[in-house]
A and B are shown apart, each in its own frame.
Chain A
Amino acid sequence: MTDTSLALDPAEMPSARRLPGDLAIWVFILAEMLAFAVFFASYAFARSKDVEMFNFYQQTLDRNAGAFNTLLLVTGSWFVVLAVQAAHRDDSRAAARRIGLGFLCGAGFLTVKVFEYAAKFGAGISLSTNTFYMFYISLTFFHFMHVILGMVILAILWVKTRQGAYGSRDAHGLESGAAYWHMVDLLWIVLFPLVYVMR
């Protein structure tokens, strides 16, 4: 009996509605998401002024790389939510291992993106080539920086988790960092279809 109730995530218990992580991280996440919302809308409205040009240059993007990167971020996010679940069970070893796997998914994302950028820059494409590439480069690079920040956070969480900093009594720090990592995933889930696929 006791075991079952301990294994339950506090969030899943009735009448115990709680926000995972710290309030401050959620305020920060919302601010970041607001910035991206403005960016996404700017892209969509800029496109409406020159649909043919946007559609033409969109075909030069590497959709396979974009889709593969979505799989990497989704899987990275999955590893990190499993890390949080392991921490709630006081299994720091499993939690740390999963954070490490999440970090590797992020590294995979950056690698694919670097090759993608190299191909584009190698073809002489830059921010000033046209409006489409201006948006493509700035939007994806802005997101790229967020993946890097997310990975820095995961690296810190990995070290702290290995030290046993998070457990069933308190995993706030881990939950906060995890929430940020999921935001990076969430943003790419909108960015990929918007910039690479929708036409």
Chain B
Amino acid sequence: MMMCKGATQLMSLKQDRALTLQERMSLRLHLMMCDPCRQCDKQFALLHEAGERMQHDILGDDAAKD
């Protein structure tokens, strides 16, 4: 049975490559039962989005014009 620490590894990996079917299943199973990990999963996704957002903000109006 995967614990929270192991689950965060998969959550992180998910931001960098596609998970295998088995990885996806065990992560999903863990997330179903664990609220803190669900929050962590969202936070990792938000960190990823923050990077994109930062690049977008650097370009300012330029990005909006494209």
A, B co-complexed: no
